[in-house]
Amino acid sequence: IYLSLNATFQSSVTKPIAYRKRQLYNLARFAQENAEALAQCLFEDLGKPRQEALCTEINPVVQRALHAAQNLDKWMDHETGRFEVQPFQKNWKVQVEKCPKGVSLIIVPWNYPVILAFLPLIGAIAAGCCSAIKLSEMAPAVASFIAENLTKHLDANAYRVILGGVPEITKVLELKWDHILYTGNSKTARIIAAAAARHLTPLTLELGGKSPVIIDASSTDLEVVARRVLWGKVMNAGQICVSPDYVLLVGGGDVEAKFVTAMKKVYAEFYPQGALAYEGMGDGGYGRIVNKTHFERIRGMMEASQGRVVVRGKVDEERLMIEPCVIVVDQAGKDVLLEEEIFGPILPVVIVGSVDAAIKFVNERPHALTLYLFTETDRFRKTVIDHTMSGQVVVNDTVFHLTCGCFFDNLCSFLRSVSG
């Protein structure tokens, strides 16, 4: 695969704009024509409901591929006349030419195995690169389907799928790629970064982390806030890198009671019979945990927590399902739920007395991938944004945002930017 992709790139077949557009349109067609099959695979691997699969994984691939094809000419235009130069350089004819880097390796996680395979691929195709896509063995239905069907639409000489687990990816990382893109956790990222460093391979890492939610209880409608936070938490059963990880509820008096009441009401609206009753592909369904190992990890965190369970939290070991669970923990922040990224449907809530206390709490931990902020006052918003650091800040909503750069462990990602 590696030698074949390099030979294809050296032949320059992927460089013409017309070729790139054709591959982008073919990728959009692949996702569109196989939408139901891909949704079924996502349900088999993750219990992901059909509507969620279409909205968060499949339809965006179609939209982004078409967008790239329709804007490719503009993106590839030479850039001239906007450079600051020394006086003696003013007569130089300087321009930026956008050239493909070579053969890229895309390492895909299990939690969003369709969109996180194809968004980076769209960037690679648009740039004129060849790509190898290493799909996750933890999403076997998706991996098998893509491996069997993708090259029916794309040029098999330029874009290939790699299957397998740790032994296979270990061998793959011994090779010298022109660029590696990895989406996943920081522990694996360090291994990949070390492998890339041996060849000085450029690397893009899109990693997780604990994404806090700061709520200004004095200025917000707590029922609206609860609805938006819970919606973000139940998506893919909390198995998403930008899932709301913990809540800092700013206020005094009875703010805890009001927020818990709001959460209970919203949960009952989402799942009148409890989330465990909503397994299935239909609209309003609720996903499951990817495998037994992750199920036991999440359940272990719930059992080890010293906090008070205030909303649901039932589990079904046979079906690997865990209900959304809201747990109020001590302000000291020593609870197990506040240590590592949860990556599951548990939402710890910490009551803090002031915005300064919330800022201090956030800054004592590694930089967040995303910080969610709920407030109706400009002063509160500006105070939080000016005194914290995160990949992005989303005000009065969760999950959906524009992603251009993300901090985590001092590594920067540009996964979904125009630069590809």
Just list the catalytic residues: 206, 241
| Measured CA distances, 227 to 207, 221, 230, 287 (Å) | 26, 10, 5, 18
Place of tokens 């041996």: 198
- Which is nearest to 201 in space by CA: 230, 217, 180, 173? 180
Cβ contacts of residue 362 below 8 Å, gap of 6+?
212, 214, 248, 368, 371, 388
Please tell me what DSSP assigns to residue 36: H
Q: Pull the structure tokens for residue 70.
A: 């329709």
Establish how many alpha carbons lie within 13 A of residue 171's alpha carbon, considering only the half-sphere containing its beta carbon.
8
First CA to last CA across the chain, in angstroms? 23
Torsion from C-alpha of 38, 44, 49, 53, nearest 10 degrees: -30
Q: How far is CA 268 from the centre of its chain?
A: 27
Rg (Cα) of the chain, in Å, rounded? 23
Give 227-248 as a DSSP string.
HHHHHHHHGGGG-STTSEEEEE
Whether the Cβ atoms of residue 289 and residue 344 lie closer than 8 Å to each other: yes
Q: In this structure, what are the phi and psi dihedrals at residue 161, rounded to the nearest 5 degrees?
A: -110, 140
* Residue 151 amino acid letter: T
Place of tokens 């024509």: 33
| Measured CA distances, 35 to 40, 51, 65, 366, 388 (Å) | 9, 11, 14, 38, 40
Whether the Cβ atoms of residue 292 and residue 360 lie closer than 8 Å to each other: no
